[in-house]
Amino acid sequence: MSTPVAAVDLGATSGRVMLGYVGHNELSIRPVARFPNTPVREAGGLHWNILELYRSVLAGLAAAAREEPGLGSIGIDTWAVDYALLRDGRMLGTPFHYRDGRTAAGVEATHAVVSARELYAANGLQHLPFNTLFQLAADRESGTLDGADRMLLIPDLLGYWLTGRQVAERTNASTTGLLHLSNREWDDALLQRVDLPRGILPELVDAGDRIAPLLPTMRTELGLARDIDLIAVGSHDTASAVVAVPATTSNFAYISCGTWGLVGVELEHPVITEAARAANFTNEGGVDGRVRFLHNVMGLWLLSESVRTWESDGLTIDLPALLDAAAAVTAPVAVFDANDPGLLAPGDMPSRIAQLCLRGGMPMPASMAEFVRSIIESLADAFAAAVRTASELSTQRVDVIHLVGGGSQNDLLCRLVADRAGLPVLAGPVEATAIGNVLIQSRTLGAVSGDLESLRAVVAESLPPLLYTPRTAPG
């Protein structure tokens, strides 16, 4: 009998608490709670609604404990880069959301002392204006950092509130830009150069480590009958999603497709060539010391933010029906640059896409269905290109693309990626992130053993992905 574990996974589309069960060659997972994760704007910027989320997480965990009194452990993942500042253990202000525009000042201040090339050599990260070091630099410039004695990434903040222990899990810490690529330790020299206080950074832990037992007060709050540990998982959601890719060959690329499309390959060693930097490929830290060599493509954010705009105009949108209508479009549609940085911020997405079409002399979508078709075609094009680039830059052969996450339910997208890449696409699991989270906890508890390949074999066996065969040869 497998021990049930609880996975907390906070994505941009929703937060969820899932119960997971892993045995020798079997895995299952089911949702216990799902709740919105909507940022809040106030005059000072765009923020996490962190206390409301924490309340929802506690309610979800309490429900998990009611359903499974023998709950074995808890693991937490969220999206990367964002953090809270604390002083004497208390949170200062409300964490910023990375889509807040404040980071430009941080990029400028940082690049004034360290060039983009030097940064890449040190941390191996693609340039994203919201990488934690730029956010922290912006906070220093604005005085927000004043008085802070600790920075905790969001999963580590929630973990601290549950256990009282302050740590930084390494896969997520790798997205800060403050870990050195050579040893994945905090980069003291870089911190000094960019004038960020070393003392705010906590001790590093690895996915699979036991962080600490829950505080007695939290145990009572959750109605848990016995002591259980918070276990460090790949607390960067993408790291957890890559753990759960049901690959049965080493020649695979992955697309972790939700709000973002994270497209790349898994490597043993980083690639920090000038070509990789120019292509804006990142070397994020994976579970078990692997390297996630990937590029951030804007992802289904383009669709969800368009839907949000249409809904705020008073329209009622049924996503599956809209995707069916997009699949039925036969007119040629614009393929715009899904990587355009102008698409990052919240706001009127259809107008921004229309501007891109206009500027590129491309056909303007004439209906909502054509808009959606144009978005999906553009994403598929960017995904296929990123797979090709990942393979070329890393010399890793790719025979199959695994598309995991919420986007794997998008039949049109999966089909178009296969066609544009000229490679088979294996779609699913939808909840790859939560599954990766569950697998690492279960391995620590001893319910399953082995390397990532063994864990992936369990996923492939229990949740076989759906095959999309390309109608074209490799491009």
Residue with tokens 């359903």: 67
Q: Residues 56, 33: contact at Cβ < 8 Å?
A: yes
Contact call for residue 296 and ligand LRH (CB under 6 A): yes
Q: Write out the two tokens for 216.
A: 């007695």
**Can you give the length of the chain in residues?**
475
User: Among the candidate windows 28-36, 68-76, 202-210, 236-244, which touches ligand LRH by CB under 6 A?
Assistant: 236-244
Q: Write out the two tokens for 253.
A: 């690329």
Q: Which does 375 bind (CB under 5 to 8 A by kind): ligand ADP, ligand LRH, none?
A: none
CB of 281 to ligand ADP, least distance (A): 21
Q: Residues 239, 171: contact at Cβ < 8 Å?
A: yes
User: Among the candidate windows 73-81, 215-223, 328-336, 355-363, which touches ligand LRH by CB under 6 A?
Assistant: 73-81
Q: Please say whether the dihedral angle defined by the alpha carbons of residues 14, 255, 246 and 410, taken in this order, is positive or negative.
A: positive
Q: Residues 62, 221: contact at Cβ < 8 Å?
A: yes
Indicate if 411 belongs to the active site: no
Contact call for residue 468 and ligand LRH (CB under 6 A): no
Q: Using CA atoms, how far apart are residues 238 and 434, in angstroms rounded to an integer?
A: 10
The residue type found at 89 is G
Q: Give the residue with the Cβ less far from ligand ADP, 200 or 241.
A: 241
Q: Please say whether the dihedral angle defined by the alpha carbons of residues 266, 271, 275 and 279, taken in this order, is positive or negative.
A: positive
Q: Which does 119 bind (CB under 5 to 8 A by kind): ligand ADP, ligand LRH, none?
A: none
Q: Which does 406 bind (CB under 5 to 8 A by kind): ligand ADP, ligand LRH, none?
A: ligand ADP
CB of 451 to ligand LRH, least distance (A): 23
Name the maximum alpha-carbon separation found in the chain. 64
Q: Which does 304 bind (CB under 5 to 8 A by kind): ligand ADP, ligand LRH, none?
A: ligand ADP
Tell me whether the omega of the peptide bond preceding residue 424 falls within 30 degrees of 0, making it cis: no
Choosing from 237, 318, 324, 411, the catalytic residue is 237
Site residues (vs ligand ADP, CB under 6 A): 11-14, 258-259, 300, 303-304, 319-320, 323, 405-407, 409-410
Local structure of residue 23 (DSSP, 8 states): -
Contact call for residue 432 and ligand LRH (CB under 6 A): no
CB of 432 to ligand ADP, least distance (A): 8
Q: Using CA atoms, how far apart are residues 276 and 282, in angstroms rounded to an integer?
A: 8
164 φψ region: left (φ > 0), alpha (ψ -120 to 50), beta (else): left
Q: Using CA atoms, how far apart are residues 344 and 103, in angstroms rounded to an integer?
A: 12
Contact call for residue 238 and ligand LRH (CB under 6 A): yes
Contact call for residue 79 and ligand LRH (CB under 6 A): yes
Q: Give the residue with the Cβ less far from ligand ADP, 85 or 323.
A: 323
Number of residues forming the site for ligand LRH (CB under 6 A): 11
Local structure of residue 342 (DSSP, 8 states): G
Kind plus residue range of the DSSP H or E element containing 369: helix 368-394
Contact call for residue 81 and ligand LRH (CB under 6 A): yes
Q: Which does 303 bind (CB under 5 to 8 A by kind): ligand ADP, ligand LRH, none?
A: ligand ADP
In this chain, which of 61, 80, 157, 265 binds ligand LRH, going by CB under 6 A?
80
Q: Which does 238 bind (CB under 5 to 8 A by kind): ligand LRH, ligand ADP, none?
A: ligand LRH
Write out the residues near ligand LRH by the rule CB under 6 A: 79-81, 98, 236-238, 259-260, 262, 296
Catalytic residues: 237
